[in-house]
A and B are shown apart, each in its own frame.
Chain A
């Protein structure tokens, strides 16, 4: 065991993946010499060489398209895109090719690749560096989409993603890269994809979130506890597929649900969760389902961030509303 940040756990996971299977290779912009813009691949070039930790030209469509070809050709590529806002040049490759090859070839060809994408805002970045487009990928049939929020999950889910026989969009919460530390096993291990986790057990209201918003949700749950409201906090972790069972069991118990995410409100993942709760658990609800999200606006620059991101105040207010049955 070593105490690691989420960033260090990812590095450790990539190291384990490269060590375990010679078919794995990392490709992306600046992943080699500089160890990536977030230093997630730091040191791996020295350990595994330029044939397996590949600095690519500035071409996101090229990175993902080549990773597709590498995967079809029998390799296990792990592609890095620097920011979610820069994933759009690769969008055509992801949506039209990566996600579909298994289906259109009736399993003859598959694309077992991982696309790592740092996502989310709240760190005062330039435009296009703070996006939360998880819905776009989760809405695409043929992709698995996960978003770990702890160091332990980051390493375990990364290794599970590498082992998975299907393409995985692996979302990394930028704001949490170095915000939390915990014990992480030094050896390889997996945390299954498609499973949510209860971060905090509670009885009055179910709080559903993922990624960087887990931070504000934990703070809100602490605060609410002091106000006599018991929150069950669920980190969804996997956005495609969704772990409906864990979510619905909790909501059945508490009778209330508050969903929190950074992405815009309309058509966000919160809408999907709310729909599933209503479809399968309506009669157990004691209050309308609430969503606390980013607005339906462009993600603002530094000065506007505090007015955009779901805050502890907004989250606790929504919980109190549900407690009043509003």
Chain B
């Protein structure tokens, strides 16, 4: 397993990036954590629909996304808000989607990122198709698709891996192995010793990395993207991490794992690891940390405000996304929906 920063925050390899960038990525991880905490809190207040926490996976998500060029594609899931935000997906839209508003799925034109996949496993092959399009268009860009350990059991994973390898496409498969698919431990999910090992079956380069190590995650993703853009085909990355929180706000992890395990995982916290590294480099202070949290709270709070300030779409919103031009039967149905919304009789 590749590692550059060990669990104590000590360098055990060469940092792929300078300390100024490490500080920026640390800030992004911290904002990701604040987003995550805020989301869980908003869900409990009934201001957000079901929420899937990614606490503990900030290094994997920020490390991978930071290796992307702004024109590279990101195709991720409902648990990958930190990666999506790091790639430019506006935070207010991430919140808006979770509030149950379809407009959250519409990032600005300059952000090459699909809305988060909600079904498990169906999206990886989309990244393959996007990478194929980029190859045909000779853009010298790549696509990164992010998924969990559970998704590797779906048939679509294997079809995506096979297509990518057969057509030598510029796509990077980034699996966050966070230990659990809802209640199922990864050891029960697959008999493969590692998820990375599945790559060789498809003739694909693969690598296992410590997903709680920001620097190593960044380094292997960067290398995989470079290979992809150089026409050397796809890579499977297995980032080993841990889902500290429940599967979603509806889940109760005490039914399938003990607290000791969670405590042990907290000891490998990806944020404190970077903090320790920065401290040893003389680039961290409690004042700076405090300032970062203050900034994160403000930034996240503002995104919530923006999302909540947007007026609801009303009945029209049910129809307005359906076709380039609404069909006559849908026009008629929309009129009925609006008639009932205003309380008028048919």
Residues of A within 8 A of B (CB): 29-30, 32-35, 37, 55, 57-62, 85-86, 89, 124-129, 265-266, 295-298, 300-305, 307-308, 311, 313-314, 317, 321
In the bound complex, what is the Cα–Cα distance between A55 and B187 (angstroms)?
A: 12
A317–B184 CB distance below 8 A: no
Query: Whole-angstrom distance from the CB of A30 to the nearest CB of chain B?
Result: 5
Tell me which residues from 299 to 335 in chain B have a Cβ below 8 Å from any Cβ of chain A: 312-315, 317-319, 321-322, 329-330, 333-334
A295–B181 CB distance below 8 A: no
Contact residues in B for A57 (Cβ distance below 8 Å): 150, 153, 181, 184, 188-190
Tell me which residues from 179 to 224 in chain B have a Cβ below 8 Å from any Cβ of chain A: 181-184, 188-190
Contact residues in A for B183 (Cβ distance below 8 Å): 30, 32-34, 55
Contact residues in B for A266 (Cβ distance below 8 Å): 329
Which A-B residue pairs are the 8 nearest by beta carbons? A302-B100, A57-B153, A58-B150, A301-B100, A307-B315, A33-B256, A34-B183, A127-B118
Q: Which of B251, B255, B318 contacts A304 (CB 8 A)?
A: B318
Knowing A29-B182, A126-B78, A304-B317 are in contact, say whether A34-B251 is a contact too (CB < 8 A).
Answer: yes
Contact residues in B for A124 (Cβ distance below 8 Å): 49-50, 100
Contact residues in A for B121 (Cβ distance below 8 Å): 58, 89
Q: Which of B255, B322, B340 contacts A298 (CB 8 A)?
A: B322
19 contacts between A and B (CB under 8 A): A30-B184, A33-B184, A34-B183, A58-B120, A58-B121, A58-B189, A59-B154, A62-B153, A124-B100, A126-B50, A265-B333, A296-B330, A296-B333, A302-B49, A303-B99, A303-B100, A314-B340, A317-B340, A317-B346
The total of Cβ contacts below 8 Å across the A-B interface reads: 124
Q: Which of B188, B190, B312, B346 contacts A303 (CB 8 A)?
A: B312
In the bound complex, what is the Cα–Cα distance between A58 and B186 (angstroms)?
A: 11
A295–B255 CB distance below 8 A: no
Contact residues in A for B184 (Cβ distance below 8 Å): 29-30, 33, 55, 57-58
In the bound complex, what is the Cα–Cα distance between A32 and B184 (angstroms)?
A: 9
Is residue B138 contacting chain A, with contact meaning CB distance below 8 A? no
A295–B330 CB distance below 8 A: yes
Contact residues in A for B119 (Cβ distance below 8 Å): 85-86, 128
Number of interface residues of B (CB under 8 A): 48
By secondary structure, the A interface counts as: loop
Query: Whole-angstrom distance from the CB of B112 to the nearest CB of chain A?
Result: 21
Is residue B45 contacting chain A, with contact meaning CB distance below 8 A? no
Most buried by B among A60, A295, A321: A295
Query: Whole-angstrom distance from the CB of B108 to the nearest CB of chain A?
Result: 20
Knowing A34-B183, A307-B318 are in contact, say whether A300-B102 is a contact too (CB < 8 A).
Answer: yes
Query: Whole-angstrom distance from the CB of B178 to the nearest CB of chain A?
Result: 13
Report the nearest A residue to B321, measured CB to CB: A298
In the bound complex, what is the Cα–Cα distance between A59 and B330 (angstroms)?
A: 35
Report the nearest B residue to A58, measured CB to CB: B150
In the bound complex, what is the Cα–Cα distance between A32 and B154 (angstroms)?
A: 19
Knowing A29-B184, A89-B155 are in contact, say whether A297-B120 is a contact too (CB < 8 A).
Answer: no
In the bound complex, what is the Cα–Cα distance between A127 and B78 (angstroms)?
A: 10
In the bound complex, what is the Cα–Cα distance between A298 and B99 (angstroms)?
A: 17
Q: Which of B49, B312, B314, B318 contacts A126 (CB 8 A)?
A: B49
A297–B100 CB distance below 8 A: no
B101–A295 CB distance below 8 A: no
Contact residues in B for A317 (Cβ distance below 8 Å): 340, 345-346
A304–B182 CB distance below 8 A: no
Report the nearest A residue to B98, measured CB to CB: A126
A296–B100 CB distance below 8 A: no
Tell me which residues from 141 to 180 in chain B have a Cβ below 8 Å from any Cβ of chain A: 150-151, 153-156
In the bound complex, what is the Cα–Cα distance between A125 and B121 (angstroms)?
A: 19
Is residue B252 contacting chain A, with contact meaning CB distance below 8 A? yes
Report the nearest A residue to B189, measured CB to CB: A57
Is residue B337 contacting chain A, with contact meaning CB distance below 8 A? yes
The contact string, 1 if C-beta is below 8 Å from chain A, for chain B 247-263, is 00011100110000000
In the bound complex, what is the Cα–Cα distance between A303 and B318 (angstroms)?
A: 9
Is residue B341 contacting chain A, with contact meaning CB distance below 8 A? yes
In the bound complex, what is the Cα–Cα distance between A125 and B118 (angstroms)?
A: 11
B333–A128 CB distance below 8 A: no
In the bound complex, what is the Cα–Cα distance between A300 and B333 (angstroms)?
A: 15
B153–A301 CB distance below 8 A: no
